[in-house]
Structure 1
Amino acid sequence: MTDTQTAATLNDVFGRAGTGPLSGVVIADFTRILAGPYCTMLLADMGATVIKVESPAGDDTRTWRPPLRDGEATYYLAVNRNKHSIALDLKDEDDLRVAHEIAARADVLVQNFKPGGLASFRLDYESVKGLNPEVIYASISGFGSKGGKDLPGYDLLVQGMSGLMSITGDQDGSPYKAGIAVFDVMTGMHTGMGILAALHHRTATGKGQHLDLNLMSSALSGLVNQTSAYVAGGVVPKRMGNGHPSLFPYEPLETGDGELIIAAGNDRQFRTLCDALGIPEVPADERFATMNNRNANREELRPILLERLAKRTAREWFEVLRSSGLPCAPIQDIKGGVELAEELGLDPVVNSGSGDRRVPGIRNPVDFSATPVSYDLAPPHVGESSALVRAWLESDPEH
């Protein structure tokens, strides 16, 4: 059977109408909370058939409320569209048999149980590989499967232990976490990228493999210039509020009625800023002529800029600086961010599902010109597709 036929058959069985680039790929999703579900939702948007295996109690985030929409936690709704839920108690032999059948027929299995936690259910990589030799098996944990295998894998813990919180917050204040579970999201994207690479490799070689990911490694990679400062430069970064360790001005600055983000990332942009502020002589001052000098003398430069910025409002300066081509931005709330994306034609809000059950969410950020993503299915209720999945398992695997 061709890939096109496989995709069409799966779409017919599971009610997907899209023709995304991953149509025909079956993903067994044994994940919950955020990193794994975010990864599998992105892949589901791209056409993959994702079977979300939940306990009868459901994904933990179903209870993470408020906020709510029609009695459902918006946290859960954010990362679970386009999936089919089957409720299985892995301690029940009949349910465990169904879990094994799903693993045996899946192209990809993603799980974020504690390292070793699925071995007793014979759903660890080696066991699943015995059932499904070409399977791509992705494991997500907090701190890896070696010395950190017993550490709980919560994003907040990783934000603290990776060093992120040490560089977030006011210079003389307390460490702060990010406003989202940033490393869960980052690890979800890393997992998705790894799965796509492994699918490409399997197409070429016919071989599956085990992908092992953890939040701590994603965190250190995602801290980019800050971890590089230490490992390559021997510098331990510190909190700088909204300041940047290598660029100035590159932060929110006070205007006549509030803050405006100003990003002068090179000498040309700094000259543009000074011209717009009416102080064209400042870039000629040796203390401020180059980025290195501006960094070294930022406390001397700051009051010069603030004196000029105080003469107009943030909105007025935004218009002036924007028209001059200088990167700048107001600081908005989430509502303002969504509305700006709408104004820019980015169409940020999509509705998944149909009929009486249509759930708004944020669109997949990838636009494909030939194989667009789709939003056929609303986030499922617990076990909503149990009968459908069981019927698929009972069908001929080749049809």
Structure 2
Amino acid sequence: MTKGPLSNIRVLDMSRILAGPWAAQMLADLGAEVIKIERPGKGDDSRQFGPPFLKDAEGRNTRESSFYISTNRNKKSITCDIAKPEGQALVRKLVAKCDVLLENYKVGDLKRYGLDYASLSEENPRLIYCSLTGFGQTGPYAPRPGYDSIFQAMGGLMSITGLPDDIPGGGPMKTGPSLADILAGQYAAYAIQAALYARDVNAAPGQHIDIALLDALIASTSHYASQYLVSGDVPVRRGTEGNGGMPSRMFRCADGDIMIVAGNNEQYARFCEVLGHPELTTDARFAEISLRVVNRRALGDVFEPLVAAWKVLDLLHALDKAGVPAGPINNLEQVFADPHVQARGMCVESHHAASADGKVRMVANPVKFSATPIVDYKAPPTQGEHTETLLGEWLGMDEGEIRALRDKGVI
């Protein structure tokens, strides 16, 4: 089996719910050995985030929620109560054998247990220690708790998502997925790899990485933030409209909806030809991109009835033939039924002993390597599944030592 790019890296994942586990899953997909630490009894909070839950052979809910499944594949799970001195000692022993530690506790929480960066770096100076919190390790908001929707609100994303105020249903809108968590997890995964490269290639020491969900969300507003910083103009909500070429928006056809983007003047001209109205190419209001941006409302008024006369599949075929970018607005059932998505292998199956058919379906990692492909997808571990094996293999503990920890409730 091909080894992943990070196959010699060991990661201790002390994070819960989404941002941290997502980052650790990215590293696990790339071949790192990721050990997930869970609380005895309850485990990762996300195990309770259901329904839906994976069903067993009798149709009963297991403890494996779809939320937990989405962020914990390719990992191993051990249980450890870090509130107990023996649990803290166990973590320190594990850290000594790891390259990376990921955590998303409140600022200062792990210092109480001697598991903060300053303490653990003394035992392992090469350690890359990544903290993911809502507001970061510094600043006046650092102690605050927070959730994804709070960061979408505070970071500006909700102000630029949704319909304009003067349209029925207009107002700030949260995105469906928890993008602040996902984006922070992605930033954390690439920052960890950069820190490993700096350590192993450029002779840098181990270091602490501070990732804030609010920071990650703000950075990801990208060209919208740049628009404000360059011009001083506050971007507004435009529904499905883009900010580049026009038209760039959803249109309603006779039997459904379609997304169309005429990104340049040539595509716009071909769009007009498909609709049977080439004269719109030279219309004084729409002849250039800048004019179409300024006159976007008038553009919509003209093109909406023209598109509405078409059926979705007919228009998609015509636009594809003409080289005008367009796509259907799919629900997730349609997404995974799409032949192109299937050809790209975006759904994978793995063995799962708890499920009714012995399988679990997961979204694949989208990265395609030519030499070190991601081909090994192991189902997310059950709680504490690897506790005894890892304590024996990594720390050399015998059955009696492990049993003593279990009797004390440490594992």
Give the TM-score, by structure 2 length. Answer: 0.89
Question: Which residue is 1:3 aligned to?
Answer: none
Paired residue for 1:270, among 268, 271, 274?
268
Question: Which residue is 1:114 aligned to?
Answer: 106
Looking at structure 1, the residues matched to 171 and 317 of structure 2 have their Cα atoms a distance apart, in angstroms, of: 35
Amino acid at match of 1:283: T
Question: Would you say the 8 A contact 2:38–2:80 is kept in 1?
Answer: yes
Looking at structure 1, the residues matched to 366 and 196 of structure 2 have their Cα atoms a distance apart, in angstroms, of: 21
- Per-residue Cα deviation, 1:116-140 (whole angstroms, up to 9, x for no partner): 1110111111111001001111111
Report whether the alignment pairs 1:65 with 2:47. no
Alignment of 1:69-88 (within 5 A): 69-70=54-55, 71=62, 72-88=64-80
Question: Would you say the 8 A contact 2:348–2:377 is kept in 1?
Answer: no
Looking at structure 2, the residues matched to 209 and 26 of structure 1 have their Cα atoms a distance apart, in angstroms, of: 16
Question: Which residue is 1:339 aligned to?
Answer: 337
- Per-residue Cα deviation, 1:2-55 (whole angstroms, up to 9, x for no partner): xxxxxxxxxxxxxxx651111121001010111111111111111110010111
Question: Would you say the 8 A contact 2:93–2:395 is kept in 1?
Answer: no
- Deviation of residue 276 (structure 1)? 1.0
Matched position secondary structure for 1:105? coil
Looking at structure 2, the residues matched to 283 and 360 of structure 1 have their Cα atoms a distance apart, in angstroms, of: 47
Paired residue for 1:144, among 136, 144, 150?
136
Looking at structure 2, the residues matched to 26 and 175 of structure 1 have their Cα atoms a distance apart, in angstroms, of: 42
Question: Would you say the 8 A contact 1:136–1:211 is kept in 2?
Answer: yes
Paired residue for 1:249, among 241, 247, 250?
247
- Deviation of residue 359 (structure 1)? 2.0
Of all paired residues, the percent bearing the same amino acid is 36
- Deviation of residue 153 (structure 1)? 3.1
Query: What stretches of structure 2 of length at least 5 have no aligned partner?
Result: 56-61, 398-411
Question: Would you say the 8 A contact 1:81–1:352 is kept in 2?
Answer: no
Question: Would you say the 8 A contact 1:50–1:82 is kept in 2?
Answer: yes
Looking at structure 2, the residues matched to 262 and 133 of structure 1 have their Cα atoms a distance apart, in angstroms, of: 53
Looking at structure 2, the residues matched to 379 and 345 of structure 1 have their Cα atoms a distance apart, in angstroms, of: 24
- Deviation of residue 164 (structure 1)? 1.0
Amino acid at match of 2:118: E
Question: Which residue is 1:14 aligned to?
Answer: none
Say which is worse superposed, 190-199 or 356-365, in terms of deviation: 356-365
Question: Which residue is 1:228 aligned to?
Answer: 226
Question: Which residue is 1:30 aligned to?
Answer: 14
Cα RMSD after superposing both structures: 1.7
Looking at structure 1, the residues matched to 294 and 90 of structure 2 have their Cα atoms a distance apart, in angstroms, of: 64
Equivalent pairs counted in the alignment come to 380
Question: Would you say the 8 A contact 1:18–1:47 is kept in 2?
Answer: no
Matched position secondary structure for 2:50? coil
- Deviation of residue 258 (structure 1)? 2.8
Query: Structure 1 segments of 4 or more deviating over 4 A?
Result: 341-344, 354-357
- Per-residue Cα deviation, 1:312-365 (whole angstroms, up to 9, x for no partner): 212211111111111001111011111115555111111234677532101111
Question: Would you say the 8 A contact 2:5–2:30 is kept in 1?
Answer: yes
Question: Which residue is 2:406 aligned to?
Answer: none
Looking at structure 1, the residues matched to 17 and 2 of structure 2 have their Cα atoms a distance apart, in angstroms, of: 26
Give the TM-score, by structure 1 length. Answer: 0.91
Amino acid at match of 1:253: F
Looking at structure 1, the residues matched to 341 and 116 of structure 2 have their Cα atoms a distance apart, in angstroms, of: 47
Question: Which residue is 1:198 aligned to?
Answer: 195
Paired residue for 2:24, among 40, 52, 59?
40
Amino acid at match of 1:197: A
Aligned pair in 2 of structure 1 residues 169, 19: CA closer, same or farther (>3 Å)? same
Looking at structure 2, the residues matched to 342 and 326 of structure 1 have their Cα atoms a distance apart, in angstroms, of: 18
Aligned pair in 2 of structure 1 residues 234, 105: CA closer, same or farther (>3 Å)? same
Question: Would you say the 8 A contact 2:99–2:126 is kept in 1?
Answer: yes
Alignment of 1:302-313 (within 5 A): 302-313=300-311
Amino acid at match of 2:251: L
Looking at structure 2, the residues matched to 360 and 227 of structure 1 have their Cα atoms a distance apart, in angstroms, of: 37
Paired residue for 1:179, among 176, 188, 202?
176
Looking at structure 2, the residues matched to 383 and 29 of structure 1 have their Cα atoms a distance apart, in angstroms, of: 13
- Per-residue Cα deviation, 1:282-335 (whole angstroms, up to 9, x for no partner): 111222111110111122222221232122212211111111111001111011
Looking at structure 1, the residues matched to 187 and 339 of structure 2 have their Cα atoms a distance apart, in angstroms, of: 25
Question: Would you say the 8 A contact 2:88–2:114 is kept in 1?
Answer: no
